[in-house]
């Protein structure tokens, strides 16, 4: 139960993080801030801010609450999304980032406009706005609010208002720089909170010994340490055995998310240089390997300590409220809030970037001034947050496993998005019509398979849809003459070489993941 000490600690955190955000984003005297300063931190982010911000943007309520809930039900197999993401990050750093940074773009839709035309850019812009607001923002707000309600008894309405206020308080005026530079604090708190919950749970299970608790957990629920599920597992459809590793679906999801998702890539686009961006991504990849212990393992412990829960998403909040002493409860709760508001700030900042730089500028007949762009961006931040607060409960109020809901929903569109960007980057003959055909095919085929073959694993569905969309893209280009396009990228002018430090660390990361699956697969 929360007492005054816990609230004081949470209050100190809230005041501190807002103060730091305002301080790092303060304007120099006599200097007029530009859109690049607001949306891309003046392209000045160091590697540690990039890496921390990538993880802070990615790990939020839907991961901490949702994946802990999946750990409660499934076990460590759900960590495939964290471990394989580290490999996807390496691919993104080596093959995608050099292309994007060379183009000096603000947003992913802007890249598509340069490669194709405004039609493709606007389609993707409106799509991402819808997904970011009605899926991502609502999920983070709802799960965060549930956690606050479970831990403190604060009503759902006031919980959402609190989270929205904290997010806006430091990100609205400072833009991406305020978000990214405070994310290192958020990530430290996030890791501390998860490890604290795990250690105390293990101590309780092991009668005072963490090591005994670890052996006891493995002895009591050995099936929850299976990294690859068997066909008779109830969760096989969501994590279909070895295919979760070697099938196309998981890699389609990863490359689309880490390579072309605006609120993720925006951090790398704001880097000082390509070397700094790649160092930051390697840092994020190492943190990804740590995440299963931080966010999945507590759910496994909860399955032993609290085997019966009304909803699986209550596993992590229940662990906190039942196990943590006062003071530590407040600090760990602050860590949870840190993860939530960091993701809210990241998402809302990216929403405002796309809305301002891709949509407003496209429909404006006159050139918009730098100050007006920033004003529009701030308005978009507030507007998106208000919409998400209004729609969170109607959309997610009856959902038990929100993390899986997000994976299934985004999986409807992910194959088409990945295909569009891959051909835009690496295939000179891709035309505007060919990628629009691919986008339509992706959505139609995804919905048809989900409707008529509901039991078919969505991981496999993504692979099939990607293939069909690719064939549609190829045939359309063929029917249009199969010619190199004027705006196609000349890959010979892009430097894909990486230094020894990057290569060495990449091998270490891949080696660690290989050993995990070798021992627990």
What pLDDT score was predicted for residue 280? 94
pLDDT digits (tens, 9 = 90+) for 151-209: 788 888 888 998 888 888 877 766 777 777 778 888 888 888 888 889 999 999 998 89
Quote the pLDDT of residue 30. Answer: 60
Contacts of 303 (CB under 8 A, 6+ apart): 71, 72, 73, 221, 224, 315
Span 310-338, pLDDT tens digits: 778 778 888 888 888 888 888 888 888 88
In a domain, 152, yes or no: yes
Quote the tokens at residue 37.
Answer: 């300063």
447 occurs within a structural domain: no
Number of domains in the chain: 1
Q: What is the dihedral of CA 135, 138, 139, 144, to 10 degrees?
A: 170
Per-residue pLDDT at 505 exceeds 80? yes
With vertex at residue 96, the alpha carbon angle to CA 340 and CA 423, rounded to the nearest 5 degrees, is 110
**Average pLDDT of the residues of the chain:** 86
Whether residue 55 lies inside any domain: the answer is: yes
Burial environment of residue 183 by CB neighbours within 10 A (0 to 12, 13 to 18, 19 or more): buried
The reply to whether 67 falls in a domain is yes
- C-beta of residue 264 within 8 angstroms of C-beta of residue 258: yes
Separation between Cα atoms, residue 315 and residue 299, nearest integer Å: 6
Is residue 510 included in any domain, yes or no? no
Here the tokens at position 188 are 């430290």
Is residue 32 a part of any domain in this protein? no
Residue 61: what pLDDT? 65
Query: Token pair for residue 311?
Result: 């909803």
Residue 320, CA distances (Å) to 111, 127, 191, 221, 400 in order: 44, 37, 14, 21, 19
468 occurs within a structural domain: no
259 Cβ contact list (under 8 Å, min separation 6): 88, 91, 92, 96, 265, 418, 421
Most trustworthy range by pLDDT among 17-21, 292-296, 337-341, 403-407: 292-296
Q: What is the mean pLDDT of residues 431-443?
A: 93
Residues 6+ apart with CB under 8 A from 215: 206
Domain extent for 312: 4-13+46-401
Residue 133 lies in a domain: yes
Whole-model pTM? 0.87
The whole-number pLDDT of residue 282 equals 96
> Which domain CATH number covers 123?
1.20.1730.10
Burial of 46 (0-12, 13-18, 19+ CB in 10 A): middle
CB neighbour burial string for 259-295, b if at least 16 within 10 angstroms, e if fewer: bbbbbbbbbbbbbbebebbbbbbbbbbbbbbebbbbb
């Amino acid at each position: 139960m929360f007492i005054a000490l816990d609230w004081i600690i949470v209050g100190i955190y809230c005041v501190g993080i807002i103060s730091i955000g305002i301080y790092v984003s303060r304007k120099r005297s006599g200097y007029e801030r530009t859109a690049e300063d607001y949306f891309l931190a003046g392209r000045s982010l160091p590697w540690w801010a990039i890496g921390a911000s990538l993880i802070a943007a990615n790990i939020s309520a839907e991961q901490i609450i949702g994946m802990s809930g999946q750990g409660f039900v499934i076990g460590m197999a759900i960590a495939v999304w964290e471990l394989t993401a580290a490999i996807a990050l390496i691919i993104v750093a080596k093959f995608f980032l050099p292309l994007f940074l060379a183009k000096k773009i603000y947003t992913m839709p802007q890249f598509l406009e340069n490669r194709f035309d405004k039609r493709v850019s606007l389609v993707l812009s409106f799509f991402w706005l819808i997904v970011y607001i009605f899926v991502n923002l609502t999920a983070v707000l709802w799960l965060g609010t549930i956690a606050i309600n479970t831990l403190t008894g604060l009503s759902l309405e006031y919980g959402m208002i609190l989270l929205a206020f904290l997010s806006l308080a430091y990100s609205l005026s400072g833009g991406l720089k305020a978000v990214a530079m405070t994310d290192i604090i958020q990530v430290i708190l996030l890791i501390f909170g998860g490890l604290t919950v795990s250690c105390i749970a293990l101590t309780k299970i092991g009668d005072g010994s963490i090591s005994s608790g670890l052996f006891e957990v493995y002895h009591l629920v050995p099936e929850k340490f299976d990294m690859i599920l068997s066909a008779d597992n109830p969760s096989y459809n969501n994590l279909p055995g070895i295919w979760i590793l070697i099938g196309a679906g998981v890699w389609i999801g990863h490359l689309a998310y880490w390579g072309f998702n605006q609120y993720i890539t925006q951090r790398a686009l704001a880097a000082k240089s390509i070397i700094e961006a790649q160092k930051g991504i390697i840092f994020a990849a190492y943190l990804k390997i740590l995440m299963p212990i931080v966010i999945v393992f507590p759910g496994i412990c909860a399955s032993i300590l609290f085997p019966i829960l009304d909803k699986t998403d209550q596993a992590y909040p229940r662990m906190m409220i039942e196990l943590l002493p006062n003071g530590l409860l407040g600090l760990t709760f602050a860590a949870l809030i840190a993860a939530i508001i960091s993701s809210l700030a990241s998402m809302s900042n990216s929403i405002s970037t796309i809305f301002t730089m891709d949509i407003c500028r496209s429909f404006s007949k006159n050139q918009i001034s730098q100050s007006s762009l920033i004003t529009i961006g701030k308005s978009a931040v507030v507007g998106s947050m208000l919409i998400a607060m209004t729609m969170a409960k109607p959309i997610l109020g009856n959902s038990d496993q929100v993390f899986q809901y997000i994976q299934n929903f985004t999986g409807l569109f992910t194959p088409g998005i990945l295909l569009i960007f891959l051909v835009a980057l690496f295939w000179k003959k891709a035309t505007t019509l060919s990628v629009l055909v691919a986008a339509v095919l992706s959505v139609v085929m995804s919905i048809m398979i989900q409707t008529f073959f509901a039991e078919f694993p969505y991981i496999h569905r993504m692979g099939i849809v990607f293939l069909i969309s690719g064939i549609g893209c190829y045939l359309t280009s063929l029917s249009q003459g199969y010619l190199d396009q004027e705006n196609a990228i000349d890959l010979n002018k892009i430097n894909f070489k990486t230094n020894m430090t990057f290569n060495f660390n990449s091998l270490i990361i891949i080696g660690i993941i290989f050993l995990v699956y070798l021992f627990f697969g």
